[in-house]
Amino acid sequence: MQLRFYLLGKCDSKNPSAIPKKQIEQWSDSGIITYLGESNDVREFIKYASVVVLPSYYKEGIPRVLLEALAMSKPIITTINNGCKDLINLDNINKNDINIGNNGILIQPKNAHLLYKAILKFSTINRDELEKNALIESKKYDIKIINEIYKNRILDKYLLKTHNKNIVFVSNSCFGMFNFRLNTLQYIRDNGYQIHIIAPFDESTQKLIDNNFKCYDIFIDPKSMNPLKELRFIKELKNHIKTINPSIIINYTIKPVIYGSFIANRLKIQNIAITTGLGYIFIPNGIMKTILKKFVVMLYKIALKNTNEIWFLNKDDKNEFINLNITESSKTFILPSEGIDLNHFKPDFKKNENFKPNNKAQEQYLQNPPKDDEIRYLLIARMLYDKGVQEFIKAAKLHQNSLKH
């Protein structure tokens, strides 16, 4: 049996946890893994993978890529980590060993040896049932279910009696609004509401405008703690909100949740904070990170004091907020992911005629489907240490070394 290891995803040099592109290319050139670069349509690559791997220790919400894999009937190998473990049904989890569920395998994060053990185990077990159950599991996260939740818990609960049809959505990128929430935004729009999106403009902005959403550019540096930059963001956000005069504000991601909630409460506008993952700040790593976490927790407490509801994508994030006394349980709600379009991600999807490989590695991957004696392990993520990329590389090295003996 031949085991092949692939990486697909963007190199993000601005992120504190980013792996230098030169390092990734070095791993690829040495034959440990094949780096496929990035793509705007991952379906083509998931189709030819045997299993999708995400050894993340990032504080995830519910990883979108794992939902995409399940929807395309692919098993997953992931970690006992916020959001990740929710996608594999297991009553008892052994942190010191691999845990085989009916649709994939769970392991402890930051453990390349356990990851390699899971990879070897996957190569020996019957995958037919895993693939069947992966598809079944994905149906719990159907975007139609998520849209109904938005309707019941926002439109019907807060807006049914109002004549003001303006809804503001605040995020740290237009890409995030388009990539993760387009279907839901379209659903709300089609229910008769005017969608206003406040987020930094990027390559996805025009796509949002084409959907008749009104977009407002704003300056935000997600990783900076520079007071001048923070004040600039707060001022611009407040001005946009006052101009729009919405009936409700929905805030996503850390800084929009903190500052957007604070501004909304000061202006006495109904608002909901949706925490899509706790992020790198909540990953224990030294005294400076500890100090920063305490500061962020304090900001959360102040900002969310009068927020109508705080939504989470998994129970671990919710419990962490409650245990840190950021909020009380009565104001929280768990949104079961941001949803997956099962008509778009499906095992028998029709190939996008406009899709073209970005490089030779992608061409070779797509033009040569896996043989019967080949298993392809595909990690799809931003190239960050927090996503477990290094553990994946180490596991691939362990396999490479085993072939020499």
CATH number assigned to the domain comprising residue 230: 3.40.50.2000
Range of the domain at 24: 2-141+350-402
Give the type of residue at 64. R
Q: Are residues 354 and 320 in the same domain?
A: no
Picking from 334, 359, 393, the residue at the C-terminal end of a domain is: 334
Q: Are residues 360 and 328 in the same domain?
A: no
Distance (Å, rounded) from C-alpha 244 to C-alpha 314?
Answer: 32
CA 123-129-130 angle, to 5 degrees, is 60
Q: Are residues 95 and 153 in the same domain?
A: no
CA 228-230-236 angle, to 5 degrees, is 100
The Cα-based distances of 222 to 199, 274, 328 in angstroms read: 12, 16, 26
Q: What is the pTM of this model?
A: 0.91
Q: Are residues 34 and 181 in the same domain?
A: no
| Pairing of β 76-79 and β 34-35 | unpaired
User: Helices (DSSP H) in 252-372: which residue ranges?
Assistant: 254-255, 261-266, 286-303, 315-323, 360-367
Residue 345 lies in a domain: no
Residue 376 lies in a domain: yes
Query: Domains in the chain: how many in total?
Result: 2
Residue 283 lies in a domain: yes
Residue 59 lies in a domain: yes
Q: Are residues 256 and 328 in the same domain?
A: yes
Q: Are 345 and 68 in contact (CB under 8 A)?
A: yes
The H-or-E segment that residue 128 falls in is helix 128-138
Picking from 334, 367, 387, the residue at the C-terminal end of a domain is: 334
Q: Are residues 113 and 195 in the same domain?
A: no
Give the largest CA-CA distance in the chain. Answer: 73
Q: Are residues 320 and 265 in the same domain?
A: yes
Q: Are residues 154 and 265 in the same domain?
A: yes
| Angle between helices 112-122 and 389-402 in degrees, nearest 10 | 60
What token pair was written down for 249? Answer: 């504000």
Residue 343 lies in a domain: no
Q: Are residues 268 and 374 in the same domain?
A: no
Q: Are residues 181 and 328 in the same domain?
A: yes
Ordered per-residue pLDDT tens for the chain, 405 residues: 899 999 999 997 777 789 999 999 999 999 999 999 999 899 999 999 999 999 999 888 899 999 999 999 999 999 999 899 999 988 889 999 999 999 999 999 999 999 999 999 999 999 999 999 999 999 999 999 999 999 999 999 999 989 999 999 999 999 999 999 999 999 999 999 999 999 999 999 999 999 999 999 999 987 777 889 889 999 999 999 999 999 999 999 989 999 999 999 999 999 999 998 776 666 666 776 677 788 888 989 999 999 999 999 999 999 999 999 999 999 999 999 999 999 999 999 887 788 889 999 999 999 988 888 899 999 999 999 999 999 999 999 999 988 876
Give the type of residue at 126. N
CA 43 to chain CA centroid, Å, is 16
